[in-house]
Amino acid sequence: RESPSVFFFSFAMSSKVLGLFLFTSTAACLRMTEEESDPQVEIHMGRCAGSGVSCLGNQCCPAFAGSSHLTFPCPSADHDWDACQTQTKFLYDPNSVSDVGDSPVTSVTGERYNMWKRGWSTFIQIPKQSETGVPPLLFVQGNVEAYSNDECEPAYLKEVMVTGSLVGYARVDLRAGSLEGSVPFGVSINGSRFQMIDDPSGTVFSNTPECSMAGRITEDEPGVWGPDAEFTMTVGKIEVRVQQRTEGRFQDSFSMLNLSVSGLDGVGTVGGVLGVDGFVFAGQAPPACAITALFSVSRPAPDGHLHTAKFRSGHNLG
């Protein structure tokens, strides 16, 4: 029979051996895990020049003015990958990102995306969900048409309609048209004949304490676009602005509209293409445009403010 001292010594030695075994086994397990585990794969996300949208690997970036309106490879695409309209890569510069890049829509939350739906759409509705039989405070619709036969080309805005209780339930219609053409830019109020903006000092359509509507001929991008029509409606802090851009001259001209709505902070929920989650109403890209559209939604971090909502037409995106 072993004495207590011998038993204690045997237990202590066994504990040391067991502890050494556990330590050695654990260390070996850690080494084995490190050696046998898959190596870490670095994912290099890129950002597209012009639009600033995110991209990854072999993907095409949306076209912008600097790429001659051609899609181009993501900065992280393989060197020999050639599936875009041009193989030239353009480096992203945060200081030179265009207002909306080649994503014509900028929503009230700052998101940017393409407008694939054609025809009439609701661009702004306040509130986002209106009760049955209760007219919205502000309701802005637009008629979007294809710029060309290429279904992946940017669309353009041809007509705009504004109404709502904030404007006294008046209906304001605006149409695009070259100032040198037979059917020029015009404004119609409550179904009246379209009025031109032909006074050099501006044309006032309405001026009340609650709402003002005026048009003028302006040249805010000299050297890029010539003088053209602009319409502004102001209701309290809200401003609805429609600017026309015209390519060509006289009967060979092509006119399109830009739409912006600002001053929406504090008005409640905003729905429509330019509203919260507006990309849901902007339509789906045709299959042929899927690569270009894959990363065409840019979602900035929310800052709690409602931004100026914009739609820019056709090739005046850069």
Write down the pLDDT at residue 9.
37
135: its two tokens: 């007219």
Q: Measure Cα distances from 229 to 96, 141, 307, 313 in Å.
A: 27, 19, 24, 15
All residue ranges of the chain with pLDDT < 70 are: 1-46, 51-56, 94-103, 223-224, 290-304, 315-318
Write down the pLDDT at residue 77.
86
Mean pLDDT rounded to a whole number for the chain: 77
Write down the pLDDT at residue 51.
67
Write down the pLDDT at residue 70.
80
Write down the pLDDT at residue 54.
62
The residue written with tokens 């209906």 in the block is: 171
Write down the pLDDT at residue 13.
41
Residue by residue, what is the 3-state secondary structure of the chain? CCCHHHHHHHHHHHHHHHHHHHHHHHHHHHHHHHHHCCCCCCCCEEECCCCCCEEECCCEECCCHHHCCCCEECCCCCCCCCCCCCCCCCCCCHHHCCCCCCCCEECCCCCEECCCCCEEEEEEEECCCCCCCCCCCEEEEEEEEECCCCCCCCEEEEEEEEECHHHCCCCEEEECCCCCCCCCCEEEECCCCCECCCCCCCEEEEECCCCEEEEEEECCCCCCCCCEEEEEEEECCEEEEEEEEEECCHHHCEEEEEEEEECCCCCCCCECCCCCCHHHHCCCCCHHHHHHHCCCCECCCCCCCCCCEEECCCCCCC
Write down the pLDDT at residue 31.
35
Write down the pLDDT at residue 141.
97
Write down the pLDDT at residue 172.
97
